[in-house]
Amino acid sequence: MITIIMAEDHQMLIDGVKSFFEYDEDINIIGTVNNGEDLVKLVSLKQPKLVLTDIRMPRMDGIEATKIIKKQFPHIQVLAMTMFDQPDAIKQMLDAGATGYLLKNSGIKMLSKAIVTVANGETFFDPNVAFNFMNNYIDENVVIGKTNKIVLSNREKEILNLIANGKTSKEISENLFIAKTTVDTHRKNMIRKLNLSSGSELIKYAIDKKYQF
């Protein structure tokens, strides 16, 4: 049985997750809280197998709470569930001791997969953050969730739209006020996400699909 304490400041989300796992024989949510301070207290009291936590919460954020929990109870696994897909946020959670990172829009089935994976001592990444983080932090032993839907970030959509309009990486960087190397990284990530083989295929894809965002 995987016992879980969930920390989330939106009660509606807590209620939805609890409802889904209510009759699950393998996953049991034994407590919920709405802030980081209460999370640390409840984990100390009940010592679950896994903590499911948001990052941004009142009184103490999920990063700081994770640091405290992992220091006191290193055997307890931590899975982050958040809206933040920025590499800095992911790195901070990993450095704090989390071994799973999931976006809130990923769906309940992927959440179930992430819980089981992390509870078993493996690392799980949402596919929509793994692509942007893979080169530096994800190795072959990490489980990456699978999705049939190709999801590009808002920045990638902006860049793809500019590519379709014939802009070079330098022109895109000037247009969006970002570094050219950042544009190049987004290009590589989109090629990987879209299962393309080259930059020229990305250009053809952008034009053929006529992305308008």
**What is the CATH number for 204?**
1.10.10.10
CA-to-CA dists, residue 190 to 61, 84, 117, 195, angstroms: 31, 19, 27, 8
21 and 68 Cβ atoms separated by less than 8 Å: no
Cα Rg of the chain (Å, integer): 19
**Inter-helix orientation angle 154-164/199-209, to 10°:** 90
Question: In this structure, are 110 and 171 located in the same domain?
Answer: no
pLDDT for 133: 54
How many domains would you assign to the chain? 2
User: Which structural domain range is residue 185 located in?
Assistant: 154-209
Can you tell me the distance from the alpha carbon of 43 to that of 38, in angstroms, rounded to the nearest whole number? 8
Kindly report the average pLDDT of the chain as a whole number: 86
| Contact call for residues 100 and 124 (beta carbons, < 8 A) | yes
61 has pLDDT over 70 = yes
Residues 16 and 78 in one domain: yes
Instruction: Tell whether pTM > 0.75.
Output: no
* pLDDT tens-place string over residues 101-148: 998 888 888 899 999 999 999 988 887 775 555 444 444 444 545 544
